[in-house]
Amino acid sequence: MRQCAENLMEEMRKLLDRISDSGIEVPQFVREAMYALHLEQFTTYDFDGFFHDRPVVFMETENGGVKTISAPHMIVTLLHHLELKEGQEVLVVGSKGGYIAALVATIVGENGRVILIDPSTEIVRHTANSLAGWPTIDLRQVESIDVSPIELPGELSRVLITGSVPSVPNWMEERIIDGGFVIAPIGDNHHQELMKLERQFDNLHPTSLGPVSFGPVDIVESEPNPLSALEIADLIETLIETCHEMELCGADELQQLGMMADELRTMQEAGETELEAFITANMQHFVQLWPMIQLMFAPTLARPGDVDQDDEPSFHFDEFKP
């Protein structure tokens, strides 16, 4: 067991060295916290990929929802920009298996406090088991992150949102004290900007930390759903614009795609069977467009701490885009 722990410590050291060599700052307090914790406490899934700078799954639902512990370079980035100090109180939104909250708790020490909220009963149950024995972490389930939990402290100094949100909830913005800030991946389900919103008097001043791709806070929202007719129409129209700009399709093909989008907009009430029939009837067009569709929905993401930088690109949430 001791030898295994020493091996994991060495793997973590090498990983953090590679991340540092890539140009990402790895503060000493972050190193020490990541050395102190072991991933097997937070996930029962294989975590070898973590040492290749990839996210690690900690939970899956029967309906295909997946939640991960973020890739190491992203964890380092988040902890660095939180500007943590001993004794601070930090609000973490989204469980991440409890790993990030435990890292924060390690850094702020026994006089600090971490409030961890998540809307999923299943996630909270899993995380409670992982965080047993962490007295400075207050884990709570909430109905929605858009509504302030009961008895939450009136003022907030540090807030970390670990899943994609279209905007920071109003109640969080209102409670940020002067000099305090929120770090959050803000955008749609596929593309976000990691933002640091700092309170300066009456205003929150935004700073972009780079484009990222995070999954949603709520695991239910990560469960795949069939696209509606309108969503497929929007996708086709985006493809039309791209094809036109890059001169990838002829005029006749663009016209045909436009007709498909128009027809889909008349099928708002169509069920899965009707949509499947439509796609089958127009299969030749979808086959031609499939490589572009894949690129739109599966962006290549960075793994600066990966030892195998020449590997084929893989696609994961919670990473910087190159």
The residue-averaged pLDDT of 187-204 equals 91
Report how far residue 85's alpha carbon sits from residue 17's, in angstroms, rounded to the nearest whole number: 23
* DSSP classification of residue 312: P
- Asked whether residue 310 is domain-assigned, the answer is no
- Asked whether residue 318 is domain-assigned, the answer is no
Of 169, 188, 222, the one marking the end of a domain is 222
Q: Report the Cα–Cα distance between both ends of the chain, in Å, rounded.
A: 38
Report how far residue 247's alpha carbon sits from residue 284's, in angstroms, rounded to the nearest whole number: 19
Domain extent for 18:
2-222
Confidence band for 153, pLDDT divided at 50, 70 and 90: confident
Report how far residue 196's alpha carbon sits from residue 185's, in angstroms, rounded to the nearest whole number: 9
The residue-averaged pLDDT of 56-62 equals 91
8 A C-beta contact, residue 298 and residue 313: no
* pTM passes above 0.85: no
Residue type, 294: Q
Of 222, 248, 279, the one marking the end of a domain is 222
Number of structural domains in the chain: 2
With 50 as the cut, is the pLDDT of residue 315 above it?
Answer: no
- Per-residue pLDDT at 58: 95
Range in 19-23, 26-30, 125-129, 224-228 the model is least confident about: 224-228
191 and 241, same domain (yes or no):
no
- Per-residue pLDDT at 86: 97
Report how far residue 84's alpha carbon sits from residue 286's, in angstroms, rounded to the nearest whole number: 49
120 and 252, same domain (yes or no):
no
Q: Do you know the residue count of the chain?
A: 322
